[in-house]
Chain A
């Protein structure tokens, strides 16, 4: 079970958190301008990488804040956590 360093609260057990899928997928500002295929790309397509992945997490049983995490999915190493709107600290 992970020990997650919430950017607002500090280290907490994984059981306090909820994973929210891939990060940095921006909701289109003008959905009506998009074709079915473009909208489907936003709506359904996710990378599901083996290796370094950028993901969203929510401290749902804590401060309720969403934040981003860089995680190596091949070994579950958390490389970094950072607030929403911030640039990832690692590549």
Chain B
């Protein structure tokens, strides 16, 4: 390690603030202002990881969010651990702990490195071709592949940090605070637009903020000085909000954007307590200005991935911004002028440049002449053909390019270096633009895709729009923002620029080599280890579409989405296939632009807010009385009430016996309730239920079945006529919202002429159902004024009543087959009325029962549960409920479908009862039903939908659907289980009291 790597000249680094951190268990020091990458480079550390497939040593390649190699794990084995973090984006703080991913046992000695030696037999599609056969072996392969692949470790304990979401509305959103973004934000804000400026970095100004060279000037000032004054000015504008460390993750249609604001990631852990870590901004902007800049392209040549090979612009940034030299003996390799800016920065610090290799033959540029003046050897018209050095580059070999750039000629020259900067020109960062639905066009001159058609009120400016020269950037930003915002006053009088750069470029997607392509490893996608050879192989094997080549070779499928190499992949495809770049289009860039943490995505929706639940007004009583709960939709429903260490089976047996022998009580508040009013309410019910409603007298209740238009059962429940034009409908617990939606739909769109109004009143009432032979005695004690005689209050009728002066509705309806009452009372009195019933029922062993017992009791009676015994493929005829389908009504929802050729088939699955040969044997719900187990393959006739042991009948009972089951009464069938076959007999689905004697008994 050398001490000469840090140049204490940068104003972005606070040299008085030393920071210690750990990387791969070793302690290092950096300064406040460093990123993990700059601090490691200052310590001479280049090797930071191993590649995904071949486990090749890899180093820091870039200085920003496009980094493919330096992907690290933060705080391994801690609750705050985070995988797949780019070292180039992590700001260091005291106590930071980071480690390499994808290497075992250590980054310097890696067992998976054997894959590099095996690489001739690991071509593109290798995993597809090899491990997919035989299919049953995949499980075994997968174990080893996953073990050696390793893309970081997920945390094992709950995340202690706080995250939140925030809606943001603005007139103008500016993404990116480089020169053009800052100018645009100033123009927008000064002209009265409410403006938001965001940048993913911790500082403003983009790459120009450290541009101190004499070769580019604005108004005769050094670029960085001019920009600093601008930043100072905009920070004082009132209607301009500036957010740094804020990365736009997604740009959706209608100018809806998601951005992640990092609030504490740069702070030492002990300063993060009780602070929001990351905030997801949901931005709705009237206008969006994208100024996301551009990403430097690497060059594709043999062994272009060794540690010590960086983008030329990254080398410049590490020197100018962080005061860190990436090497002591540098070579730059370029096809354009920007590498000479890096050369100037190196020369200014007195750092050695061994040579510059330039693809171009003829170059007329001021900056190049300046570099040449410093006695630096420039190899014009040359290319790098190979590199050397295992854990760090130490040598390159170069050769002269032929005139057409397709081959190399002459002798090979070897040059020493410890750092190689590469520049293949620049790719506009159009990711967000394309996410928003924007269409790109290909510009032949410099081989770039640039924005063409905007799908919303937005514009791209600066180098993400393909403007690369300083003069062009400033001129075009001024004119296009004026037009975009429709303003006269640009805030800028005259802006004079000087630039010493020539914009020429010699673009060769895959540089030629003296070796055959099969012998080279020219990486196109560093993170996924996809090479130029892999892409050519894919084309040879017949892949043509870029999307297919991408998936076959995995190019661009890493966490960096191929920000560096995608263009080269496209270029190599079009060169090899002999097509035009513009015709291929690009692959799709998908959100997020950089990875988001799960914490940011879920925000505050964690713990009890992850999936909120609904409680009935009687919930607290159930909790106090030891109920177990079941989730039904979003409701928590009492499931059963275990007593004295009972298990569920024991509790349910006790509860259901008590309900039939004496009295049971159920909280039915979760049933959906829809209040229906209007002069056409009866006609409306006629149309939505299968049975007739016009003749239902006021004060009477009726069970109704609702179908979909395709004839399949949708929902059911009892509806009561409260008045001439007033009904209350009950729905299943889970179906309430959908039923209301469906009814509204028909009412508003098909039958707007009907005078009907619907309101959901589910939450307004508590519903208490008291059933059993003693229910009448109990209810008469709770509501003494109510005449409960069969004459005055028969089954399927309703009465208004009062309990302690509180109005309530009492229905005599039954879902158990027992004499029972349902009391509906204003929700906040629910618990007290429940307690009154319990008190009144004390002498009758009144037993609270939950949903499990309710299901058992109704199964004894053969009553269906929509969604358990039905699954949207059963008609009422299939359910043997022909009795509820009106023959007289001309029309109702689903009627016509009941005699389609498919619905009248005799061999449809139909609901039947099932009795086991051994009455103690209880079937499993969901089990298959067959007739012949010798036939191969065995024909599946249906399945068990409900199954219980009935304590009242003292035997096992079940409901099921069976093909042609209606005509199979008494027939023997088989339920094949894992280790036995259970014999069953098809039975009537009504197991108990078919004649309804219990319901109508004189009590």
Which residues of A does B touch, CB under 8 Å?
A: 1-3, 13, 18, 20, 26-27, 30-32, 34, 36, 39-40, 43, 56, 58, 60, 64-66, 75-77, 84-85
Contacts and interface: CB of A to CB of B under 8 A. Distances in A.
Given A60-B741, A66-B748, A75-B455, A43 B897 contact: yes
Interface stretch (B251-259, B911-919, B926-934, B943-951): B251-259
Given A32-B891, A36-B900, A3 B254 contact: yes
B241 interface: no
Contacts of A31: 891, 895-896
Contact of A39 (B256, B744, B752, B900): B900
A2 B252 CA distance: 9
B675 to A, nearest CB: 14
A76 B741 contact: no
B900 to A, nearest CB: 5
B709 interface: yes
B890 interface: yes
Contact of A65 (B741, B748, B890): B748
A20 B710 CA distance: 16
A62 B67 CA distance: 45
7 contacts: A2-B254, A18-B741, A32-B895, A34-B896, A43-B897, A75-B455, A85-B752
Nearest to B711: A43
A3 B284 contact: yes
A84 B748 contact: yes
Given A32-B896, A84-B752, A20 B745 contact: yes
Given A31-B891, A32-B891, A56 B749 contact: yes
Contacts of A30: 891
Nearest to A1: B256
Nearest to A74: B437
Contacts, number: 55
A58 B741 contact: yes
Contacts of A36: 900-901
B804 interface: no
Contacts of A39: 896-897, 900
A31 B687 CA distance: 13
A66 B897 CA distance: 25
Interface string B749-777: 11010000000000000000000000000
Interface in B430-458: 437, 455
Interface string B239-262: 000000000000011101000000
Contact of B437 (A27, A32, A76): A76
Contact of B253 (A32, A43, A60, A76): A76
A11 to B, nearest CB: 10
Contacts of B890: 32
A35 to B, nearest CB: 10
Given A31-B891, A32-B891, A84-B752, A1 B253 contact: yes
Contacts of B709: 27, 43
A64 B750 CA distance: 16
Interface string B871-911: 00000000000000000001100011100110000000000
Contacts of A43: 709-710, 897
Nearest to A67: B748
B253 A84 contact: no
Nearest to A65: B748
The winner among A65, A76, A85 for most chain B CB atoms within 10 A is A76
A77 B256 CA distance: 14
A3 B710 contact: no
Nearest to B746: A27
Contacts of A13: 284
A13 B21 CA distance: 45
A76 B890 CA distance: 41
Contacts of A32: 890-891, 895-896
A44 to B, nearest CB: 8
Given A1-B256, A36-B900, 11 more contacts: A13-B284, A18-B741, A20-B745, A27-B750, A30-B891, A39-B897, A40-B900, A56-B749, A76-B253, A76-B254, A85-B752
B616 to A, nearest CB: 23
Interface string B277-311: 00000001000000000000000000000000000
A27 B747 CA distance: 12
Contacts of B741: 18, 58, 60
The winner among B253, B710, B749, B750 for most chain A CB atoms within 10 A is B749
A46 to B, nearest CB: 13
A40 B902 CA distance: 11
B240 to A, nearest CB: 24
Contacts of B748: 65-66, 84
A34 B709 CA distance: 14
A58 B738 CA distance: 13
Contacts of B254: 1-3, 76
Contacts of A27: 709, 750
A20 B901 CA distance: 27
Nearest to B899: A36
Contacts of A77: 455
Nearest to B901: A36
B574 to A, nearest CB: 26
Nearest to A4: B254
A84 B749 contact: yes
A66 B749 contact: yes
Interface string B410-443: 0000000000000000000000000001000000
A47 B750 CA distance: 20
Contacts of B710: 43
Nearest to B254: A3
A7 B413 CA distance: 74
A77 B457 CA distance: 12
A31 B750 CA distance: 14
A40 B900 CA distance: 9
A66 B752 CA distance: 11
A67 B617 CA distance: 36
Interface in B693-729: 709-710
Closest 9 CB pairs of A and B: A31-B896, A1-B256, A66-B748, A3-B254, A27-B750, A76-B253, A39-B896, A1-B252, A66-B749
A56 B750 CA distance: 12
Contacts of A34: 896
Nearest to A64: B744
Contacts of B901: 36
B645 to A, nearest CB: 45
Nearest to B895: A31
B745 A3 contact: no
A50 B111 CA distance: 53
A33 to B, nearest CB: 9
Contacts of A75: 437, 455
Contacts of A64: 744
A66 B895 contact: no
A13 to B, nearest CB: 8
Nearest to B710: A43
Nearest to B740: A64
Contacts of A18: 741
A60 B745 CA distance: 10
Nearest to B456: A77
A77 B46 CA distance: 49
A50 to B, nearest CB: 14
A30 to B, nearest CB: 8
A42 B890 CA distance: 18
A39 to B, nearest CB: 5
A43 B874 CA distance: 17
Contacts of B896: 31-32, 34, 39
A66 B455 contact: no
A1 B253 CA distance: 5
Contacts of A66: 744-745, 748-749
Contacts of B745: 20, 58, 66
A84 B745 CA distance: 11
A43 B707 CA distance: 14
A30 B709 CA distance: 14
A28 B872 CA distance: 23
